[in-house]
Structure 1
Amino acid sequence: MDIKIMIAAHKPYWMPQEPCYLPVHVGHALHPGTDLGYTGDDTGDNISAKNPHYCELTALYWAWKNLAADTDFIGLVHYRRHFTRREVRDVEARKQEILTATEWEDILRESPVVVPKKRRYYIESNRSHYNHAHHADGLDCAENYIRVAYPEYLPAFERVMNRTWAHMFNMFVMRRDLYDEYCKWLFELLTIVETRVDITGWDAYESRIYGFVSELLLDVWLEKNGIAYREQNVSFLEPQDWLKKGGAFLKRKFLPKNKEH
């Protein structure tokens, strides 16, 4: 089974040595003189130069256009965030929980798609959480385009937006035929958003608009197409300040966001 799980990275970092993992230097076109020893996302047909706005999706696009057609499964994780067997307290020990190539083969024989365990917001919907955390323009534009070009996706879009959970991080592993179908749909939609939303004056964080929007579009695509999937634990390889994260979540929820662009 030929499995390629890209590890999106922009700096040197510890990498698992299993043969299924492919470290990819995202945004390499913007740093042509830098060699991290990883595969660059700027060969062949690519959108590497758009990395400040598309984030890890530049690796997703590169794999879609450049990996061999007979690759059985393609996936995407992050250099600090991986699919793991379970969550453990010790941060360093989490590296030992990252799934091996053999484990991936066993999982993918049973499931065509693997996604992270649900991230739950409890007190607000996906739509309200997005609007509190980001400028609403990108998600609004995506909805408007779906309404016109893909009306059959609209019920799924509305269900996903009204939920209080989602499969986040743009992380997944997919059977190649499904991967190709998803990328075709996703990048067409994001290209439309790119042409219709003016992000002039947005700060560096908000300018990652296409990466943010796509996090919710994955569930829309899975939902509409009735794609079976397996949820898998995800671990972060660095300590996290949950008090700070919780405070930021509540601040976004209850304090008005500055909408000045």
Structure 2
Amino acid sequence: MQRRKGGRSMQQPRIFFAVALHEKYALPTDALYTPIQAGAAIHPPLGLMRDDTGENISAKNGSYCELTVLYWMAHNVDADWYGLCHYRRYFSLRRTGCPQKRILTRAQLLPLLDTADIFLPKKRHYWLETNFTQYAHAHHEEDLWKARAALARLHPGQERVFDRVMARRSGHRFNLMLMRRDALQSYASWLFPLLDAAEIDTTGYSARDKRVHGFLAERLLDVWLAQQDYRVKELPVAHLERQHWGRKIAAFLLRKMGIKNDRTAR
């Protein structure tokens, strides 16, 4: 498709925005989105595009979560822009209103593409915790140390950036992103070898904590980003399911007392 601007013909950007899902769910009808079955190698088929074709890590979905779709996109899809979202969370331009009606559309996105190279969700602020202590209280602290050690081995000196990011009290979460091609390829080529090198053994982990590589990637994104010069724009998030803030606050207080609540930690 082409459009006219100033009398000249311009090619529309090729945007591949994947919606990662592992179960049947109502999906946006806007042409922007392409549903991809995450972990297709280990789950019953949903009749959708799958993340287990071509070069893939689909079988690792249990710990990599939606990252198996990110890996698949980076290695098998030719596009100008790559997006990734979870089937219950989407970018939006507004903070309020019906979540389903706030989901970002292609028409809304196109004018924004000239303003940034990377689009991420608004940061989550912890206020009373750092990124490090929040993860340590919610999951397994040793995961962070293993990721740091792997970073030091693969990219000597970057562990100091890791330390600075972990000392912050806010960060980008949800593995929700839209990146220009060069940015996505740079991020993926940095992230996946690092997660693999961390060699995290999930034996004895709860079902939620076994999603460790997905949780770590949420923190590592900001480590990578801190070393880049890309233009970043943050957008609100439309959560399609209710956010139980009462539970989250209660879980936070319990974690401060050394009691983990496996249902609400992120």
Q: TM-score, normalised by structure 1?
A: 0.91
After the TM superposition, which residues 1-261 of structure 1 pair with which residues of structure 2 at under 5 Å, given as runs? 1-31=13-43, 34-68=44-78, 71-89=79-97, 93-194=98-199, 197-255=200-258
* Residues 63-101 of structure 1, C-alpha deviations (whole Å, 9 max, x = no match): 011102xx1100111111110111225xxx211111111
Q: SS of 1:103's equivalent? A: helix
Give the Cα separation in 1 of the matches to 2:183 and 2:212: 24
Give the gaps of 5 or more residues in structure 2.
1-12, 262-266
Q: Superposition RMSD on alpha carbons, in Å? A: 1.5
Give the Cα separation in 2 of the matches to 1:225 and 1:155: 15
Q: Give the number of the structure whose residues are more often helix, by fraction.
A: 1
Q: SS of 2:178's equivalent? A: strand
* Residues 122-163 of structure 1, C-alpha deviations (whole Å, 9 max, x = no match): 001000000001111221111112223212423321121000
Identity of matched residues, %: 43
Give the Cα separation in 2 of the matches to 1:58 and 1:144: 23
Give the Cα separation in 2 of the matches to 1:122 and 1:254: 17
Q: SS of 2:56's equivalent? A: coil
Deviation at 1:169, TM superposition (A): 0.7
Give the Cα separation in 1 of the matches to 2:203 and 2:187: 29
Q: In 1, are the aligned partners of 2:149 and 2:198 still within 8 Å (CA)?
A: no
> Could you tell me which amino acid in structure 2 is paired with residue 14 of structure 1?
A
* Residues 225-249 of structure 1, C-alpha deviations (whole Å, 9 max, x = no match): 2332000000210122211111012
Task: Classify 1:233/1:6 alpha carbon distance in 2 versus 1 (closer, same or farther; 3 Å).
Answer: same
Aligned residues: 249
Q: In 2, are the aligned partners of 1:114 and 1:173 still within 8 Å (CA)?
A: yes
Give the Cα separation in 2 of the matches to 1:154 and 1:145: 9
> Could you tell me which amino acid in structure 2 is paired with residue 58 of structure 1?
T
> Could you tell me which amino acid in structure 2 is paired with residue 72 of structure 1?
D
Give the gaps of 5 or more residues in structure 1.
none
> Could you tell me which amino acid in structure 2 is paired with residue 132 of structure 1?
H
Deviation at 1:253, TM superposition (A): 2.3
> Could you tell me which amino acid in structure 2 is paired with residue 83 of structure 1?
F
> Could you tell me which amino acid in structure 2 is paired with residue 211 of structure 1?
G
Q: TM-score, normalised by structure 2?
A: 0.89
Give the Cα separation in 2 of the matches to 1:101 and 1:257: 40
* Residues 3-47 of structure 1, C-alpha deviations (whole Å, 9 max, x = no match): 11111111111111222211111011112xx33232111111111
